[in-house]
């Protein structure tokens, strides 16, 4: 008995053909083939099976009841087939070569991506190196500015110290001048007081004499 089974849906790149091969192997089917095709814009797997009637019927039931985990099946069509079906061993070898070829292609793409990544890493390294150099120059410039600022602060400190010393000298000189001035003023005040005392003493004596005279002639 030979049949053609068409499985339609999201059935490519989900491991559907190895899955079907395993089902056929479990039933000891000797002739088997499966291909990925596009039918009216949709993904499909066309399966050819030849074997005892009971084997083929069991295989059809298994296909209808089971699918790979990632597959999405929209429809399954079963029809008689009168063409050639190759041996399952031949298909297994072909599938293995096909899968190995896919692995090689994926590996080559990965190598290309790794090369691109290596180039990007080199470019990034060069870019970062340039940035680090720029930062280093800016740090050096900042250090020079800090040194200049330190020198200016030292100069300002020295200048302010000199000015403060001069102000101190002027204050000391002013203190001496004020002391001399107040000493002179105090001396003059004391002299004036003595003069006033003398005048007051003479006036008192005159008044006393006048009072005595008046008393004698009264």
Output the pLDDT for position 146: 81
Helix, coil or strand: residue 6? strand
Residue 95 CA: distances (Å) to CA of 37, 67, 91, 181, 197: 15, 18, 6, 123, 144
Higher pLDDT pick, 156 / 73: 73
With 70 as the cut, is the pLDDT of residue 104 above it?
yes
Is the CB of residue 74 less than 8 Å from the CB of residue 8?
Answer: yes
Could you report the per-residue pLDDT of 166-181, keeping only the tens digit for each?
Answer: 877 877 777 777 778 7
* pLDDT tens sequence across 111-170: 888 878 878 887 878 888 888 888 878 878 877 888 887 788 787 678 777 887 787 787
Region 184-192 average pLDDT: 81
This prediction's pTM: 0.51
* pLDDT tens-digit readout, 11-67: 999 999 999 999 999 999 999 999 999 999 999 999 999 999 999 999 999 999 999
- State the Cα–Cα distance between residues 61 and 55, nearest whole angstrom: 10
| Distances, alpha carbon 198 to alpha carbons 14, 45, 176, 188, 190, in Å | 137, 147, 33, 15, 13
> Residue 32 and residue 90: Cα distance in Å, rounded?
9
| Level-2 CATH architecture, domain 2-86 | 2-Layer Sandwich (3.30)
HSE (side-chain half, CA atoms, 13 Å) at 211: 6
User: What's the mean pLDDT in 182-186?
Assistant: 78
d(C-alpha 5, C-alpha 17), whole Å: 12
């Amino acid at each position: 008995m030979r049949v053609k089974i068409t499985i339609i849906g999201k059935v490519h790149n989900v491991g559907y053909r190895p899955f079907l091969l395993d089902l056929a192997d479990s039933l000891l089917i000797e002739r088997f083939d499966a291909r990925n095709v596009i039918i009216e814009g949709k993904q499909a797997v066309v399966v050819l099976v030849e074997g005892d009637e009971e084997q083929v019927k069991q295989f059809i039931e298994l296909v209808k009841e089971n699918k790979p985990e990632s597959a999405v099946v929209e429809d399954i069509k079963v029809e008689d087939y009168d063409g050639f079906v190759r041996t399952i061993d031949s298909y297994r070898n072909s599938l293995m070569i096909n899968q190995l070829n896919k692995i090689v292609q994926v590996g080559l793409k990965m190598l290309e991506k790794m090369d691109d990544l290596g180039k990007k890493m080199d470019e990034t390294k060069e870019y970062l190196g340039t940035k680090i150099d720029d930062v280093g120059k800016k740090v050096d410039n900042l250090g020079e500015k800090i040194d200049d600022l330190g020198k200016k602060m030292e100069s300002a400190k020295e200048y302010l110290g000199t000015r403060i010393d001069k102000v101190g000298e002027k204050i000391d000189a002013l203190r001496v001048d004020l002391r001399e001035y107040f000493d002179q003023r105090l001396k003059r005040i004391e002299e004036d007081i003595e003069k006033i005392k003398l005048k007051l003493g003479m006036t008192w004596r005159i008044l006393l004499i006048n009072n005595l005279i008046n008393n004698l002639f009264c």
